[in-house]
Amino acid sequence: MLDSIQINSLCLSIDNETFVLVVLDSIMLDPVFCNRVKAGITSRTGIHPSHITVACIHTHSAPAYFKLAFEDTHVEPELTADAERRMIESACRAHAHMQPATCTFEKMLVDGLYGNRNVRGGVEDKHCYLIAFQGEDGTPLGAFFNVSAHPTILNGSSTALSADLIGQVRLRLEDALGCQVLCTNGTCGDVSTRFYRKSSGIDELNETADALFDQVMVKKTPVELHTWTPRCGSVSRPTTYDARTDRDWAEMTARIQGDLASPEPQAMSAFLMDRQQRKLEMSPVSLELTSQFYSFGTLIVVTMPGDVCSELGRRIKAAFPHHEVIIIGYANTYCNYLVPNCDYGKYFETFNSRTARGEADAFVQSVIGSIESMIAE
């Protein structure tokens, strides 16, 4: 074990409206699991499920809690059951120990370290957010941190349990702030350290974590928030993907087959062809794309159901220029990659997507429209 696999919870009450965020260090979350966690929290606290978010940080070095759609994951059911119990307990403990608090909201823009992994300098969200909570006497009570980057510096050769980049930054923030820090991952579907890292492994992980922590502490800039009675809403969009009739699947498969038949096929082609075959075998695929969103005055928090590509996150934030918008990915379910129409079929993300062209765009537009209606009330 390189660092601890954690469950962290935040319970926040504003104007008698109580909200819970509970986060597991995992690569994904199963929707049935999330609903059970929510039900367990509701039964013990009375908090409505719509006010509860269950999320993960997307580390690729956590235990196998859940079966991934495209991988032959050997799930350990006893670990999954234990995680469910502990997440409920963590959230309920946070609820039971709430106390009056104030908070500071800070944001910062990271330079280098990570970015769009398909096109260097392409669309990417390099903002980080830090919300620190203090008791009435100024004692640090806890903090919330949001970053948009794939935590995949440890490669497939590493067998160490780890929360990877997010976990290592969390350790450094906790030492600096003197309190527990809950971390979330944002729109990192096409964002990683690919163009910035010199290598992979523990040394590279520590070096990147040190550099990210240093930038956060040096660049963090206070932002004044204006809060009033919270509002919340949600959107669900059912989708069906069928590789047997999907034109993009056929075109992408033909492209990979052509490369495999060439004298010097690309290293990834066999892997991508395997993905295409798996998509064909699992078709038709039905998913429920879901988003919960909350308005805390000039702060909007939006949950998204998986690996969200940067362009989609950019649209959500651009729609609300007079608000600070935090996007929490990998929340309440896992739908793999949500790829915008402009990038669909071009890069790795589409091969790992279970939605057809245009579905992610339509879903995001429905999220934006619903938030606009919510804050206009």
Whether 165 maps to a domain, the answer reads yes
Whether 206 maps to a domain, the answer reads yes
Whether 303 maps to a domain, the answer reads no
Pairing, β 101-109 against β 127-135: antiparallel
- Helix (H) or strand (E) run with residue 250 in it: helix 247-260
Residue 286, pLDDT score:
98
Using alpha carbons only, give the angle 156, 160, 162 rounded to the nearest 5 degrees: 95
Whether 367 maps to a domain, the answer reads no
Structural domain boundaries, residue 161:
7-222
Whether 209 maps to a domain, the answer reads yes
pLDDT digits (tens, 9 = 90+) for 305-342: 999 999 999 999 999 999 999 999 999 999 999 999 99
CA distance 265 to 169: 38
211 contact partners, CB below 8 Å, separation of at least 6: 112, 113
Q: Does position 90 have pLDDT exceeding 80, yes or no?
A: yes
**Inter-residue contact 173 to 142 (CB < 8 Å):** no
pLDDT digits (tens, 9 = 90+) for 17-47: 999 999 999 999 999 999 999 999 999 999 9
Residue 9, pLDDT score:
99
Q: Does position 96 have pLDDT exceeding 80, yes or no?
A: yes
Whether 354 maps to a domain, the answer reads no
pLDDT band for position 155 (cuts 50, 70, 90): confident
- Percent of the chain whose predicted confidence (pLDDT) is above 70: 99
pLDDT band for position 360 (cuts 50, 70, 90): very high
Write the DSSP assignment of 101-124 as a string of letters. EEEEEEEEE--SS-EESSSTTSS-
Q: How many domains does the chain have?
A: 1
Whether 107 maps to a domain, the answer reads yes
pLDDT average, residue stretch 125-137: 98
Whether 53 maps to a domain, the answer reads yes
